A and B are shown apart, each in its own frame.
Chain A
Amino acid sequence: MAGARSSLGYLKPYRRAVGAGVAMMVVTNLCALGVVSHLGQAIQAIKDSRAELMPHIVLLLIGFALATAVTRILSRVWIFNAARAAEYDLRSDLFGHLMTLSPGYYRDHPTGDVMSRLTNDVQTVRAMWGAGAVHLANAVTSFATVLTMMVLLDPVVAVLSIVPYPLIFITGQALSRRIYRTTREVQAELGGLSSRIQEDLGAIQVIKTYGLDQVRRRGFLAASQRLLDKNMAAAKVRVQLGPILNTLAPIGVAILILIGGRAVIHKEISVGYYTEFTALLARLVWPTLTLGFMLALVQRGRASWARLVELQAIRTDIPDGAGPALPASAQPAHVAVRDLTIRIGDRAIVDRVSFELEPGSITAIVGRTGSGKSTLVEALCRLIAVPPGAILLDGHDITAIPLASLRGQIGYAPQEAFLFSTTIADNVAMGYGGGTAIPAARARELERAGALAAAVDLSGEPRVNAAAVAAGLEKDLVVMPDGLATIVGERGITLSGGQRQRVALARALAAMPRLLVLDDSLSSVDAETEQLILGHLRAVMHGRTAVLISHRVAAIKDADQILVLDQGQIVERGSHEALLATGGLYSELYRTQLQTELGVTRKEAV
């Protein structure tokens, strides 16, 4: 992030726009002085009964007023646009950074918190840049120009009539601090209420079955009442600010009546000057009032900026490989795992594991829930940090291979299938980088023209079709409104768990990878469909190295080697028959149909 210590680094590319905006603001305030000065001249002309001067004075007054408008529009547009442009850069940088963080980070940090930084905090920082800059520049130039003007008119009257302003500033600051404190208290109370709501909604079944509605309602009522009280305590301070500042500022006018009025009577200053003074004082009221508001904006902006810097400082624990990309090859991959240990916290999830995947072989990994199977295959794709030298792909250390190159070799279908909200075909095509990825703006145009579905329709792609068939999607596609062109997700249709898994499987197959990794990717698929897919898979796996995790005997019994994991260690390995004959953990798991079939599963340990 450019200039992590100060957020102003982001405004740097737009310094010309901001500079021009501030310059315009100076011009605006000078023009405003012109208005005020001609107002005074007009009053003086009336006093002197010189009506013939009036058209000239009034025309100039209106001219200055129009100039004020034009320059003010320019200054606001330039500064606010610069702030928006800087916001764009900040957001874009953050999103890019978030895309580089490892899955491990997202396991430990709630998406809600990350999203809140990407949305709320960015907005707060932008408010500091835009509104903050405008108000600050306006306040400074207003005070500078008005004070200069007043001193030029009459130094004594000027000094006396601005006596209340330091007082206003001090009071404003003191009140701002109190506002900040009470607002924090409101935030805390609101946080308490939020967690209470979350607690209740999370425990809704208990509340319902135990008839706790009333008890919980009483508690909620009390919490809501406390929030109301805190809000009112904060409101009491907040609504003081305006009236107090509004009482202090007109003291200048009272002083002007006293001193300036006397000066007019003694003919020391003219009536025109007196009117000018009144108008000038009025011009100071608004910047004074916005000062407090601006201070709050800057304070909040800085707090948000700190949160963004914190996020930006996080580095992925899976750095890109520094070595050369793997040479292009159609041969099945060879994988060697040497004494691999993966720790999360102080627990070894994978514990001193060594094995080889021979090119073109099928390896099954079995074990109880929580035995480390998924972590092991995630390590193959470096979805989790692995120590250098522990895993070799075709003899190359995978931590040295660029991530894109490494993952390009692997087709991975996870148990929790994640689909993008686009068409099924698009989701599948993404497996080989063939997803449409129509830019959003173009997509909008197409959607308006009703041509979007046709544009993202990759259902004619032979590669997509073949993968869909191999993943056993045919049957489902027939009943879907648009077949492969059906859009999934909230806007489209909701797929069942099994269907999602199969789309994800099709995506992995469409990649035509050198190494195929199936992490229990048929767990939600019914037995008949599974049989069908397994039939296809044998053909698909031909000429590839494959690793599969499954609880189902049918899927694993033909594997070339079976690795049995227990508490992160390989406790048995061999073929199905050999393992059955030894009568160890595998035969135990097998006899009970590999646990899940009859299903006493334990809660996932990780």
Chain B
Amino acid sequence: MAVTAAGPIGPVGPRRPGLEAEAVLGKAYDVRLMGRLARYVVPHTRLLVAWGALMLVRTGFEIAQPLFVAYVLQHHIIGNSGRGVIEALPLDALAYIGLVIGQNLSSFFEQWLVQLAGQRTMHDLRIAIFDHVLAQRAAFFDRIPVGRLMTRMTNDIESLNEMFSQGAITIIGDVIKAVAIMVVLLASDIQLALVTFVTLPLLVVIVEYARRAMRTSFRQIRVRLAAMNGFAQEHLFGIRVVQLLGRGATAQREYNEINAGHRDAYLLQIRADAGMYALVEAIGYIAIGAVLWWASQHRLLPMAWMATVPAFAGLIPAAIGLVTRFNELIARFFEPIRDLSAKYAVMQGAMAASERIFQLLDTDELDGAVGDGDATKPDWDQPVPRKPDRSESAGPAVELAGVHFSYGAEPVLRGVDLRVPRGATIAVVGATGSGKSTVIKLLTRLYERDRGAIRIDGIDVRDIPLAALRRRVTVVSQDVILFAGTLEDNLTLGVPYTRDQIEAAVRRVGLDRALARRGAGIEAAVAERGANFSAGERQLVAFARALLRDPEILVLDEATAHVDPEAEELIERGVAELLKGRTTLVIAHRLSTIRNADLIIVLKKGQVIEQGKHDELVARGGDYAALERTFRRQTTSE
């Protein structure tokens, strides 16, 4: 984990998952990150070229204004011959407005273009993160909290986007404007320009000092903010224990301390920001003062009497025009520098965000990476597998041989052997934690087994491309998740089945009767996570959607949720319909399902302890017999 040099904060530091990563610090400009970002910007080069062109036009209009104001003052208001040209003024005013409109029109399109380029880049980046995340294996999602992934795709993208609207890109424009102003100053009068530039070293010193102070400060702020939020989150999560142990007051004291550290971390930033803002403004005035003084001593006639000599009369307006031009240009030169600190903060935030985003993109635990399928591509880029030829079958439909698996250090499966012949129904029973569900996860390669072999038709699942494997094996799990949308979307899951096919499946599992009860059809709207459907209805939807897929191998994890008797009956019928003539592995919780199975396998603590037909196992009076009593009691009591 990328822990920064700023280091941890102590025992009360950021320890909640997710906050650690938020403490990552970026420089305001990180060449490596910029390079990576550039890859996403390149496709929008044309927008950026247009933006650059408009920026130059806008800068031209902008610099022309002070030149024009000075020109009007010199030539029309004071007048070269000591008399103003009053009739030129209306046209001057209009021309000035014309320059202003020109500047702002191009400015509008310039900003709009940069927004468009930024938004499109962010859209691309969002998709890239989405693709990347979806291609990760299941263990990745156990480790990284959903909240953190969400932050990457929303907040972090937003802060990165600010770089386009307020950060790096506008700084490019500012720099070009500054250079252009310097060129104009030099072209106007080299001496006066050099006098102006005398203040530049001072400016550089101030900006550099402020930048360093702000970097130090931002680093502290980020670390302390993360610590403070981590502390608060930990105490909100553990509120019961905090209250039981009467630690409220202690927690408040500790929190205040971190809170104070956070507040104090801003002191430096506030000073640096205020200092830079005010001093840059003042240096602008000093530069103007210096220009005025130099101009008066070297550009003006040292003696007042010379003004009376007509030959020199034109010199005074010329000098005023020149000085005014400098005044106006210097003001425009210093303005963007004054606001540099705000941009600096934006850049720092954007760099930290992109650091986190790229860190996520670098976390590669690709799903199915162990197998022969092309692991570098996401599932949907895999070649569509040929339809398996049944005659090729070199073994049972599904076979587990000596499979071991552990979550971390905790062994879940310890040498499981299991064979499902083609067309047979095998029921797996056992206590929670016996490893039943894990078998499914290994079969579909949501997780990779540690040892042993898992084969389908005699072929190791690792040698079957993931997409193909998951097309052949359909899992109906006990937690049926429906997506927001219509019921039809949830049944077809994007495959264009005909209306007849859908309705047949709905009828076969008895979903039509359930729908009739609520007076709805397959056009019914589904709320997020299917919240507007009951557990029983969701089960039936899952059956119907499995039936539509018509899988070669069905894996059913029966739900244990409470349903009313009528729904229970529907579900029982649905299950029977689903299993009909299909190779099925069922994690069974229903007596009817278990009784009808061709073989029952009893799992305990990751091992197969009994197997056989229902009657044999009951007669044996072992673990299954005890379990069966529980099942029966449940069935009769509900």
Q: Which of B26-34, B86-94, B417-425 contacts A (4 or more CB under 8 A)?
A: B86-94
Q: Which of B89, B119, B289, B306 contacts A258 (CB 8 A)?
A: B89
Residues of A within 8 A of B9 (CB): 440, 443-444, 447
7 A-B pairs whose Cβ atoms sit less than 8 Å apart in the complex = A73-B279, A199-B529, A447-B7, A507-B245, A592-B627, A592-B629, A599-B434
Measured CB to CB, the nearest residue on chain A to B152 is A197
Contact with A along B93-109 (1 / 0, CB 8 A): 11011001101110110
Q: Is the CB of B12 within 8 A of A440?
A: yes
Q: Which of B229, B248, B626 contacts A99 (CB 8 A)?
A: B248
Q: Is the CB of B270 within 8 A of A61?
A: no
In angstroms, Cα B126 to Cα A96, docked, is 38
B212, CB-defined interface residue at 8 Å = no
Tell me how far the C-beta of B257 lies from the nearest C-beta in chain A, rounded to whole angstroms. Answer: 5
Measured CB to CB, the nearest residue on chain A to B282 is A69
Q: Is the CB of A407 within 8 A of B127?
A: no
Q: Is the CB of B115 within 8 A of A232?
A: yes
Q: Is the CB of A264 within 8 A of B77?
A: yes
Q: Is the CB of A199 within 8 A of B431?
A: no
Interface centre among A274, A403, A420, A435 (most CB of B within 10 A): A420
Residues of A within 8 A of B589 (CB): 600
Q: Is the CB of B331 within 8 A of A88?
A: no
- Given A208-B446, A490-B16, the answer on whether A100 and B11 have CB atoms closer than 8 Å is no
Contact with B along A69-87 (1 / 0, CB 8 A): 1101100110011001101
Tell me how far the C-beta of A571 lies from the nearest C-beta in chain B, rounded to whole angstroms. Answer: 14
Within 8 A of B (CB), among A24-51: 35, 39, 42-43, 45-51
Q: Is the CB of A35 within 8 A of B285?
A: yes
Measured CB to CB, the nearest residue on chain A to B223 is A444
A475, CB-defined interface residue at 8 Å = no
Q: Chain A contact residues: over half helix, strand or loop, or mixed?
A: helix
Residues of B within 8 A of A80 (CB): 266, 270, 273-274
Q: Which of A174-182, A235-243, A340-348, A540-548 contacts B (4 or more CB under 8 A)?
A: A235-243
Q: Which of B142-150, B171-179, B454-462 contacts A (4 or more CB under 8 A)?
A: B142-150
In angstroms, Cα B224 to Cα A444, docked, is 11
Residues of A within 8 A of B623 (CB): 598
Q: Is the CB of B120 within 8 A of A423?
A: no
In angstroms, Cα B12 to Cα A456, docked, is 12
Q: Is the CB of B138 within 8 A of A204?
A: yes
A57, CB-defined interface residue at 8 Å = yes
- Given A76-B274, A195-B528, the answer on whether A489 and B15 have CB atoms closer than 8 Å is yes
Q: Is the CB of A46 within 8 A of B320?
A: yes
In angstroms, Cα B618 to Cα A521, docked, is 34
Tell me how far the C-beta of B547 lies from the nearest C-beta in chain A, rounded to whole angstroms. Answer: 13
Measured CB to CB, the nearest residue on chain B to A85 is B263
Q: Which of A211-219, A304-312, A352-360, A465-473 contacts B (4 or more CB under 8 A)?
A: A211-219
- Given A58-B289, A66-B282, the answer on whether A73 and B275 have CB atoms closer than 8 Å is yes
Closest CB pairs A-B (n = 3): A443-B10, A599-B431, A215-B494
- Given A201-B141, A496-B410, the answer on whether A440 and B232 have CB atoms closer than 8 Å is no
Measured CB to CB, the nearest residue on chain B to A439 is B257
Tell me how far the C-beta of A337 lies from the nearest C-beta in chain B, rounded to whole angstroms. Answer: 19
Q: Is the CB of A208 within 8 A of B239?
A: no
A149, CB-defined interface residue at 8 Å = no
Q: Is the CB of B242 within 8 A of A99?
A: yes
- Given A49-B301, A68-B282, the answer on whether A383 and B240 have CB atoms closer than 8 Å is yes
In angstroms, Cα B259 to Cα A381, docked, is 31
- Given A224-B127, A254-B97, A265-B77, the answer on whether A202 and B146 have CB atoms closer than 8 Å is yes
Measured CB to CB, the nearest residue on chain A to B295 is A46
B111, CB-defined interface residue at 8 Å = yes
A583, CB-defined interface residue at 8 Å = no
Q: Is the CB of B380 within 8 A of A430?
A: no
Within 8 A of A (CB), among B347-379: 367, 378-379
Tell me how far the C-beta of B615 lies from the nearest C-beta in chain A, rounded to whole angstroms. Answer: 20
In angstroms, Cα B87 to Cα A258, docked, is 10
A287, CB-defined interface residue at 8 Å = no
Q: Chain B contact residues: over half helix, strand or loop, or mixed?
A: helix
Contact with B along A267-290 (1 / 0, CB 8 A): 000010011001100100000000
Measured CB to CB, the nearest residue on chain A to B633 is A588
Q: Which of B10, B236, B285 contacts A62 (CB 8 A)?
A: B285
Residues of B within 8 A of A329 (CB): none
A578, CB-defined interface residue at 8 Å = no
B24, CB-defined interface residue at 8 Å = no
Q: Is the CB of B154 within 8 A of A592?
A: no
Q: Is the CB of B11 within 8 A of A423?
A: yes
Interface contacts beyond A209-B477, A257-B92: sample of 14 additional A-B pairs, CB < 8 Å, sorted by A: A87-B263, A99-B242, A100-B248, A205-B446, A235-B165, A239-B115, A264-B77, A414-B240, A421-B234, A437-B254, A440-B258, A448-B7, A507-B245, A591-B629
- Given A208-B367, A418-B241, the answer on whether A201 and B149 have CB atoms closer than 8 Å is yes
A299, CB-defined interface residue at 8 Å = no
A452, CB-defined interface residue at 8 Å = yes
Q: Is the CB of B292 within 8 A of A58?
A: yes
Tell me how far the C-beta of A91 lies from the nearest C-beta in chain B, rounded to whole angstroms. Answer: 5
A121, CB-defined interface residue at 8 Å = no
Residues of A within 8 A of B630 (CB): 592, 595, 598, 600
In angstroms, Cα B147 to Cα A190, docked, is 15
Residues of A within 8 A of B475 (CB): 209-210
Tell me how far the C-beta of B249 lies from the nearest C-beta in chain A, rounded to whole angstroms. Answer: 8
Q: Is the CB of B304 within 8 A of A49?
A: yes
B433, CB-defined interface residue at 8 Å = yes
Residues of A within 8 A of B303 (CB): 49
Residues of B within 8 A of A582 (CB): none
Q: Is the CB of B10 within 8 A of A447?
A: yes
Q: Is the CB of A49 within 8 A of B316?
A: yes
Q: Is the CB of A202 within 8 A of B409?
A: no
Within 8 A of A (CB), among B29-80: 65, 69, 72-73, 76-79
Interface centre among B158, B296, B477 (most CB of A within 10 A): B296
Q: Is the CB of A246 within 8 A of B282?
A: no
Measured CB to CB, the nearest residue on chain A to B629 is A592
Residues of B within 8 A of A274 (CB): 73, 77
In angstroms, Cα B240 to Cα A403, docked, is 13
In angstroms, Cα B545 to Cα A212, docked, is 13
- Given A418-B240, A598-B626, the answer on whether A46 and B134 have CB atoms closer than 8 Å is no
In angstroms, Cα B7 to Cα A271, docked, is 61
In angstroms, Cα B444 to Cα A446, docked, is 50
- Given A39-B288, A49-B300, A598-B431, the answer on whether A250 and B100 have CB atoms closer than 8 Å is yes
Q: Which of B183-191, B386-394, B466-474, B500-508 contacts A (4 or more CB under 8 A)?
A: B466-474
B311, CB-defined interface residue at 8 Å = no
Q: Is the CB of A247 within 8 A of B104?
A: yes
Residues of B within 8 A of A143 (CB): none
Interface centre among A49, A54, A250 (most CB of B within 10 A): A49
Q: Is the CB of A214 within 8 A of B380?
A: yes
B620, CB-defined interface residue at 8 Å = no
Residues of A within 8 A of B253 (CB): 437, 439
- Given A62-B285, A246-B103, A261-B77, the answer on whether A92 and B259 have CB atoms closer than 8 Å is yes
Tell me how far the C-beta of A120 lies from the nearest C-beta in chain B, rounded to whole angstroms. Answer: 10
Q: Is the CB of A278 within 8 A of B11?
A: no
Within 8 A of B (CB), among A252-266: 253-255, 257-258, 261-262, 264-265
- Given A96-B252, A208-B367, the answer on whether A213 and B378 have CB atoms closer than 8 Å is yes
Residues of B within 8 A of A437 (CB): 250, 253-254
In angstroms, Cα B158 to Cα A193, docked, is 13
Measured CB to CB, the nearest residue on chain B to A279 is B327
Within 8 A of B (CB), among A556-606: 588, 591-593, 595-603
